[in-house]
Amino acid sequence: MSTITKALEACPGARTTDLTYADGLHVSFVELPSLAGSTTEWGLVVLGDDVLELAIAPSTGLPDEVQGRLADAMVAAIQADSALASVPQSGVGQATPELLVGFDSARLQHALGGWRSGWHDGQPPNTVLHLPCGSAAWNDAGVDTNIGADGRYWVHQFSSPSAAEAGYQRIQDALGRCPGYTTGTVTSPGGPSVFVARGQDDQWLVRHDDWVVLTFLPRAATPPPDTVSAAMGSAMVAAVEDALSSYRRSNG
């Protein structure tokens, strides 16, 4: 528990809620009454020497669901800061590995094979495409890019494999809570485990070392076969490996 959290908890009338993640991170919410009768909600998360603090003044106490979404966003933000700070950079404006990941239309078409997906190639529209289940909890970090006309992928390099695994699990949990979604995991010999979610979109989620990649396409008429999901996972990992190779070449 941080010194700031202890000080807030010592205030008269304070109420505390703690959320703990798989990688050991804790997010504390402390509700403090004001002299005017309203409340201020303080959220705090600590990662190493970094402290992220959020203060809001809701008209009523925050529901557990809202606290969970805020906690997810705060954890993603502080991990993004840690991950980006750990990337070696030798010059102003130098690209990070995330920015070099290219999951392009040709790679996607090869992975989809003969399955009739809901995706279309071409130029993306000038509007922002929706995120899966309307959630943006993981979108505060990483890079989110169009694939063709109506596909998207999100990629992020976390500070460590354990942090990536925790992020991977949080996204799985978020997708699993989406109303009307079905989820499952596809494994193949020599390939990554692929978490597949199907609702308003068809989605594939993969963790590779300290990376997490999510690809989502418009919902198809039929569910993706396991062979397609396995091929998607391998293609997503290959995109990350290509980006890492390019980054290492550019940095000697």
Q: pLDDT digit string (tens) for 187-246? A: 988 889 999 999 988 999 999 999 999 998 999 999 999 999 999 999 999 999 998 998
Q: Which span out of 19-28, 173-182, 237-246 was modeled with the highest average pLDDT?
A: 237-246
Q: Which two tokens stand for residue 32?
A: 């403090």
Residues 110 and 229 in one domain: yes
Give the structural domain span for 62: 3-86
Note whether 222 and 145 are same-domain residues: yes
| Confidence check: pLDDT of 31 > 60 | yes
Residue 246, both tokens: 């390019």
Alpha-carbon distance of 45 to 202, in angstroms, equals: 33
CA 60 to chain CA centroid, Å, is 29
| Residue in 42, 77, 81, 39 with CA at minimum distance from that of residue 61 | 39
- How far apart CA 144 and CA 133 sit, in angstroms, is 16
* Distance linking the first and last C-alpha atoms of the chain: 42
Q: Are residues 125 and 78 in the same domain?
A: no
Q: Domain count of the chain?
A: 2
Helix or strand or coil: residue 29?
strand
Q: What is the CATH number of the domain that holds 116?
A: 3.40.1000
Please state, in angstroms and as integers, the Cα–Cα distance from residue 19 to each residue in 15, 57, 193, following that order.
14, 20, 27
More confident residue, 74 or 179: 179
For residues 41 and 128, give the distance between their C-alpha atoms in angstroms, rounded to a whole number.
Answer: 31
Does 81 lie in the same domain as 122?
A: no
91 within a domain of the structure (yes/no): no
Instruction: Give domain status of residue 68, yes or no.
Output: yes
Q: Of 66, 136, 98, nearest to 247 (Cα)?
A: 98
User: Is there a domain that residue 92 lies in?
Assistant: no
| 109 falls within a domain | yes
How many Cα atoms are found within 13 Å in the side-chain-facing hemisphere of 159?
Answer: 17
Q: Are residues 181 and 75 in the same domain?
A: no
Express each pLDDT in 117-143 by its tens digit: 999 998 776 544 456 666 554 554 677
Start-end of H helices in 24-136:
64-86, 97-100, 105-112
Mean pLDDT to the nearest integer, 35-47: 64
pLDDT of residue 10: 60
User: What pLDDT does residue 135 have?
Assistant: 55
Task: Kindly report the pTM of this predicted structure.
Answer: 0.63
pLDDT at residue number 157: 85
Last residue of a domain, one of 34, 63, 86: 86
Q: Across residues 170-188, what is the average pLDDT?
A: 89
Asked whether the predicted pLDDT for residue 68 surpasses 60, the reply is yes
Residue 185's pLDDT is 97
Residue 234 confidence (pLDDT): 96
DSSP codes of every residue in 171-219: HHHHHHTSTT-EEEEE--TTS--EEEEESSEEEEEEEETTEEEEEEEEP
State which amino acid sits at residue 94.
Q
* β 182-186/151-157 pair status: unpaired
Provide the percentage of residues in the chain whose pLDDT is more than 90.
Answer: 29
DSSP H or E segment with residue 167: helix 161-176
